[in-house]
Amino acid sequence: MGPELPVRDQQLVQIVDRALAEASRKSGRWLVCRPGCTECCIGPFPISQLDAARLRQGLAELDSGDPARAARVRERAREFVARFSDSFPGDPRTGILAENADAEARFVDFANDEPCPALDPATGMCDLYATRPMTCRTFGPPVRSGPGGALGVCELCYHGASDEEITACEMTPDPDNLEEALVKDVEQVVGVRGNTIVAFCLASPSR
């Protein structure tokens, strides 16, 4: 199952989910995210060790309640790793992404058309939705890429909205940077620093 989650992780999840709910309220019809939409489920993205610990806990819980579904998630993850280990822009033994400029450039084109292993291809739904990474929780509404950065939105959303209207819907997921502190806590516990991706995390859930 992996390391126990920090006690305050649930607090972080609640903060981010409340911010999403408020952004959704302000966005109204412009935010078209809905069950079965998989725009944000295609192509890998970096996840923190905190995200990884949360996902592994979710997979362990799914194992208890629906072992067949958990086995399918794990098999999809292992198939992904088997297909893409040779081109992984990091260490395929640990699943940790490299942080140099060359690796970051390679990641841009890495497995872009591959669905997330947590995505059930039959239903278009996430099998680990309750314990999904922070990136998944914030995709859709306008979110700024760092202090003073540009606003990013899902390409399917905000059609017909002006720049001013989009800015008015901006989501600030974690205003006090609680996630950063919790990531450091988890990295100390597991003895591993750096980001991974969902497939490597779920292919070895006991790491």
How would you write the pLDDT of the chain (207 residues) with one tens digit per residue? 456 788 899 999 999 999 999 999 999 999 999 888 999 999 999 999 999 999 999 999 999 999 999 999 999 999 999 999 999 999 999 999 999 999 999 999 999 999 999 999 999 999 999 999 999 999 999 999 877 788 889 999 999 999 999 999 999 999 999 999 999 999 999 999 999 999 999 997 554
Q: Give dist(CA 108, CA 39) in Å, integer.
A: 17
pLDDT score recorded for residue 142: 95
Q: What is the pLDDT of residue 136?
A: 95
User: What phi and psi values does residue 90 have, to the nearest 5 degrees?
Assistant: 180, -155
Please tell me the predicted confidence (pLDDT) of residue 207.
Answer: 45
**Spatial CA neighbour of 154 closest among 168, 146, 142:** 142
CA distance 9 to 162: 35
Instruction: Look up residue 167 and give its two tokens.
Output: 């800015």
How many Cα atoms are found within 13 Å in the side-chain-facing hemisphere of 82? 6
**96 by DSSP, 3-state: which?**
strand
Segments of 71-163 assigned E as strands: 90-91, 96-97, 119-120, 125-126, 143-144, 151-152
pLDDT value, residue 149 = 81
Give me the residue spans of the domains in the chain: 9-203
pLDDT of residue 47: 98
pLDDT of res. 59: 97
pLDDT, position 146: 75
In sequence order, the 6+-apart residues with CB closer than 8 A to the CB of 30 are 157, 158, 159, 160, 161, 165, 166, 169
